[in-house]
Structure 1
Amino acid sequence: MRRTGERVGGIGSACCGAGPGTVLVASSGSGRGGGDGVSTTEPVRPGPAQWGALILFAGASGAVDVLAFIALGRVFAGVMTGNLVLLGLSLTGTGDEGGPAAPLLALGGYVVGVAVVAPFVRRRPEEPETHWPRAVVRWLAVEVIVLAAVTVAWGAAGGAPAQPWLDVVLVAVAVAMGMQSAALAGAGAAGGPGTYFTGTLTQVVVRAVGTGGARRADLGSLARLVALTAGASVGALVYAASAPWAMAVPLLWASAALACAALSPRPDRSSPTAPTTGDTS
């Protein structure tokens, strides 16, 4: 019999689709007479504050990507599959989007952001899946600092920095998105993707067309897609109205998200946790 709070990993839990990065946590009840009841498994889902952070970070991602596309070389800061396509197009010489420099800069910045953060946000065995590790929130705070620096520099340049500073801004926002993605991936089952949402859209549709008990509304994931779109819309509108203020849009989204992340539950270091077994992830 598994102990309460014991994590059940593996392919089966991933296929259940209970939420971002689903992990099943086994719990056991007590039967009449003090014996153990039937062990049940409950999917780990983000809490309210965590969902708020995930939704707001999606808005930040949308705002950064639209500004990168319309102002930084028609590439993306967070959607690396799109940049790979643009890189492939640029190598053929048949497109109108310029050479490979901008896609390569965005790809390089994103990779640096992920590589810097990933080693520091790995979950410790004693940290429960329902909580975001402290390192995750710290690195999300660093992302906000990077976006704040970009916002100040962008405004000082009147919203139209000359080269090579335009490329510096592109690399900086790509680094920020890489940091966001790596940090939210480190949040585990209570986190989710930070910049790429094709899988989120797939999950929403799969659940919507499910049969019987499998059909259910995935309002949290749907809200993230709406926030992604809203962030892009607001970013584009502000850029059109007042370019020097445009980079403040993703900064505000990310700052609000960080505030929610700071309110999310933290592991209690004073209380022991049950040992985990069966982790195959």
Structure 2
Amino acid sequence: MTANAPRDPLVILLYTLTVTTGLIDAVSVLGLGRVFTANMTGNIVFMGFAVGGAPGFSIPRCLVAVASFLFGAAIAGRLGKAMENAPRRRWLSIIAGIEAGLFFVSALIAAGYDIKSLEPAVHLYAMIVMTGIAMGLRNATVRRLSVADLTATVLTLTLTGIAADSSIAGGANPRWGRRVAAVVLMFLGAALGAALVLSAGLAAPLWLTGVAVLLATFLYTRHPDSQLSQKQAQA
């Protein structure tokens, strides 16, 4: 089975990660003081706003998020390279375990944190660091998987593909279902995340994200395709 097959279990895993990215975006932007821990483009823009004097944006928070994300991406890159001949189920299970563990610890920290005041500051920065590392791990791992139109974290190129490859533009609408699904799932994750953050705080969406990552990865590892190594899957 290839990564383009509609029932590919890897696609289902990436759909799940796309939903949970929306959850984490809600946690970080709404609960951690206008900072992204999944979308680094947003942090660069936010830092520009802060330099320009716009209120409510923090250069230190954004810098910590970017540094944490880069650290997580570096770890994932090294793990991916070291395990390129191992079954993907083992590689992705390790990544999922680390990622979920970081979300669970963040959820525990969130229990003593106040969203309105962003205090205590040590809890705020600890959650930025841990979710930033987790999302760096995710981004680098998904990048290595190289499944077309499923980055699980950003949608700019996905939306560009929907329009640029459409029949209106003279295209053949390749993978339009997958592209639209990614957009809808990110939207639903963000909406659910916002509802949870505003009604129950940060712990609930963090717990939900960790459980979803573990469950989706476990289900993927039950499929025979997960026994392939990265090199075999790309052959």
Structure 2 residue 47 is matched with structure 1 residue 87: yes
CA distance in 1, matches of 2:101, 2:215: 13
TM normalised by structure 2 equals 0.82
Query: Aligned pair in 2 of structure 1 residues 126, 199: CA closer, same or farther (>3 Å)?
Result: same
- Structure with bigger helix share is 2
Q: Which secondary structure does the structure 2 equivalent of 1:208 belong to?
A: coil
Q: Which runs of 5+ in 2 are unaligned?
A: none
Quick check: 1:231–1:250 contact (8 Å CA) kept in 2?
A: no
1:258 aligns with 2:214: no
* Greater share of residues in strand: 1
Aligned to 1:231: 189
Query: Which amino acid is the alignment partner of residue 37 of structure 2?
Result: A
* Residue 14 of structure 2: aligned partner: 54
| Structure 2 Cα separation of the partners of residues 168 and 126 of structure 1 | 34
Runs in 1 of length 4+ with deviation above 4 angstroms? 123-127, 156-161, 210-213
- Matched with 1:155 is 111
Aligned counterpart for 1:241 among listed residues 180, 199, 209: 199
Higher relative contact order (CA 8 A, sep 6+): 2
CA distance in 1: counterparts of 2:160 and 2:82, whole angstroms: 27
Hey, what does 1:25 align to over in structure 2? none
Separation (CA, whole Å) in 2 of partners of 1:235 and 1:267: 33
Q: For each residue in 1:237-272, what CA deviation from the matched residue of structure 2 results, as whole angstroms up to 9, or x when unmatched?
A: 111111143422322432343234323412458xxx
| Larger Rg over CA atoms | 1
- The alpha-carbon distance between structure 1 residues 219 and 231, as it changes in their structure 2 partners (threshold 3 A), is same
C-alpha distance in 2 between matches for 1:50 and 1:191: 13
1:177 matches 2:135 = yes
The runs of 5 or more residues in structure 1 that have no matched partner are: 1-41, 277-281
Q: Percent identity?
A: 19
1:210–1:53 CA distance, 2 compared to 1 (3 A) = farther
1:204-219 matched pairs, under 5 angstroms: 204-209=162-167, 214-216=172-174, 218-219=176-177
**Which region of structure 1 is more displaced relative to structure 2, 226-235 or 258-267?**
258-267
Q: For 1:253 and 1:45, how far apart are their aligned partners in 2?
A: 23
